[in-house]
Amino acid sequence: MPIELLLILVVVGIAGIAGLTWLAGLAKPRELDEQDARSEWARHYPDDQIASVWITHDQHAALVITEQGPGLLWVMGADTVARHLLDFDIMDEPHGLSVLFHDYTAPKVHLHLDEDERLVWQNLIYPQGPIC
């Protein structure tokens, strides 16, 4: 089989699979509710005792308050990622907050929060106010 024909078959096949995935609705990011956030946090950190869970209005992230301190759970495709908020920076942005973990395994996370959510989350993360 000529390489040109093989290349066309591969490109059309990949595009077809991507199109069918999108049409079937499987390309939408996962949405969290409180029970889902609790079970996902327990999957990542089974020894943590969860005190409360705060879900963003867009349902793509959750602030999890545990006995060990606050943690962040966010959606990445169909899965979730969880990190304790131990060594991090928070930056205000026009549509929410960005959390920059000082950990090369975790990306910079953009949280889409409205003004009320932003204040609540900042108070939950820094109960005594941000450390300067």
Answering whether pTM is above 0.85, one says no
Cα 55-124-43 angle, rounded to 5 deg: 50
Domain parsing of the chain, residue ranges: 1-28, 34-125
User: Between the CA atoms of 52, 54, 55 and 60, what dihedral angle is there, to the nearest 10 degrees?
Assistant: -90
Asked whether 108 and 98 are in contact (CB, 8 A), the reply is yes
| Per-residue pLDDT at 130 | 56
pLDDT digits (tens, 9 = 90+) for 48-67: 999 999 999 999 999 999 99
Alpha carbon separation from 85 to 88, 89, 113 (Å, rounded): 6, 9, 18
- Residues 30-40: what's their mean pLDDT? 93
User: Is 90 exceeded by the pLDDT of residue 26?
Assistant: no
Using pLDDT thresholds of 50, 70 and 90, give the confidence band for residue 129: low
Take residue 87 and report the two structure tokens written for it: 């060594």
